[in-house]
Chain A
Amino acid sequence: EPEVTQTPSHQVTQMGQEVILRCVPISNHLYFYWYRQILGQKVEFLVSFYNNEISEKSEIFDDQFSVERPDGSNFTLKIRSTKLEDSAMYFCASKRGSNTGELFFGEGSRLTVL
Chain B
Amino acid sequence: AQSVTQPDIHITVSEGASLELRCNYSYGATPYLFWYVQSPGQGLQLLLKYFSGDTLVQGIKGFEAEFKRSQSSFNLRKPSVHWSDAAEYFCAVVAGGTSYGKLTFGQGTILTVHP
Does any Cβ of B come within 8 Å of A107's Cβ? yes
Binary contact track B98-115/A, C-beta < 8 Å → 1, others 0: 111111111110000000
On whether the beta carbons of A48 and B43 are closer than 8 Å, the reply is no
Tell me the bound Cα distance from A103 to B104 in angstroms: 13
On whether the beta carbons of A102 and B46 are closer than 8 Å, the reply is yes
Main secondary structure of the interface of B (DSSP, over half): loop
On whether the beta carbons of A55 and B98 are closer than 8 Å, the reply is yes
On whether the beta carbons of B44 and A105 are closer than 8 Å, the reply is yes
A13-21, A65-73, A74-82, A91-99: which lies at the interface: A91-99
Known: A91-B44, A105-B45. A55 touches B99 (CB 8 A): yes
Task: List the A residue with the shortest CB-CB distance to B90.
Answer: A43
Does any Cβ of A come within 8 Å of B28's Cβ? no
Task: List the A residue with the shortest CB-CB distance to B92.
Answer: A43
On whether the beta carbons of A107 and B42 are closer than 8 Å, the reply is yes
Residues of B contacting A45 with CB < 8 Å?
A: 95, 102-104
Task: List the B residue with the shortest CB-CB distance to A41.
Answer: B107
Chain A: minimal CB distance from B89 (Å): 12
Residues of A contacting B44 with CB < 8 Å?
A: 43, 91, 93, 105
On whether the beta carbons of B99 and A108 are closer than 8 Å, the reply is no
Residues of B contacting A4 with CB < 8 Å?
A: 43
Chain B: minimal CB distance from A15 (Å): 27
Residues of B contacting A56 with CB < 8 Å?
A: 97-98, 102
Residues of B contacting A43 with CB < 8 Å?
A: 44, 90, 92, 103, 105, 108
Residues of A contacting B63 with CB < 8 Å?
A: none
On whether the beta carbons of A100 and B101 are closer than 8 Å, the reply is no
Q: A residues within 8 Å of B by Cβ?
A: 3-4, 31, 33, 35, 41-45, 48, 50, 55-56, 91, 93, 95, 98-108
